[in-house]
Copies of this chain bind each other. A is one copy, B any other.
């Protein structure tokens, strides 16, 4: 029983005594403390009152053997894993980072553990990752930007309650969506430019496969139309939500179309690329061209000049999602209202018109 003698350098806290280390079981603790396994279990889970003396004996044994309950066995027996599958499109994207932080923090409170995976913007991977979650018997699933269609999601939600961020779905007991009002955000941003006197406003779009990219384009278009300016397809370039795409799109735009006083980018990463393209050509921001992004990534306020952009309360959204999924697991009703976005005006936009008045620079 105690053939557990792998020489590890300076193992601390681990008694060199009997069955120390990794493979101690609840049963051995029970034996050592002179109680039954169920008593140990009860103490571990606080699921019933136990005589103080036994309590102490058990706790002493746990400490002495450095015992850690086996989560697997616990979950198998109880049917609960206290685990939430979180599916991102890319764990490493700066955009998801804040969401993850919010989720992680909010999940820690009720004692759930998140499992983060990425599906790389790929529907096949997305399915595969969801099935892994199910095989792992997660208690709930949070999807950041699901690509799968609603019917498929609903099917998977039979296995575990699912919450989809950035998407509206038919809310039910096991499937819910937390939509983000991209259209409104894009409209506000465009309006801001219009109010600043801009009329030739270019747009660098995100991938048309993304629902939110389409919404942002729509918001831009609607604001233009509302202002009586009208949408001009010639002012729109295709990006890919990445810096490289923004750079290339901006280069094409400048080569093709010298007349515009502002550029609205479908996300901040695109704006970074566009900004560099302008820098390369000696186009000044905001003196020559105003620039607006979308998302408000943490670094955007450190761009030079700091980027005007549409802020998503990402950390808070993450928290909301985490709280929501926990409620769904507990079969409590969840009310999820669309997340409003707010424009944060920083220093890449400038009033134009009448004469070249100083505009916004003084602050």
Contact = CB atoms under 8 A, between A and B. Distances in A.
A52 interface: no
Contacts of A116: 91, 115-116
A10 B91 contact: no
Given A273-B302, A304-B279, A131 B68 contact: yes
A93 to B, nearest CB: 7
Nearest to A152: B12
Identical chains in the assembly: 2
Contacts of A257: none
Interface in A161-179: 170, 172, 174-175
Contact of A21 (B14, B115, B158): B158
The interface residues of chain A, by DSSP majority, are classed as mixed
Contacts of A9: 151, 154, 170, 172, 175
A157 interface: yes
Interface string A304-317: 11100000000000
Given A8-B174, A92-B101, A299-B299, A159 B21 contact: yes
A241 to B, nearest CB: 13
A170 B275 CA distance: 47
A136 B14 CA distance: 19
A74 to B, nearest CB: 9
7 contacts: A8-B172, A10-B151, A10-B155, A22-B158, A71-B132, A92-B101, A243-B299
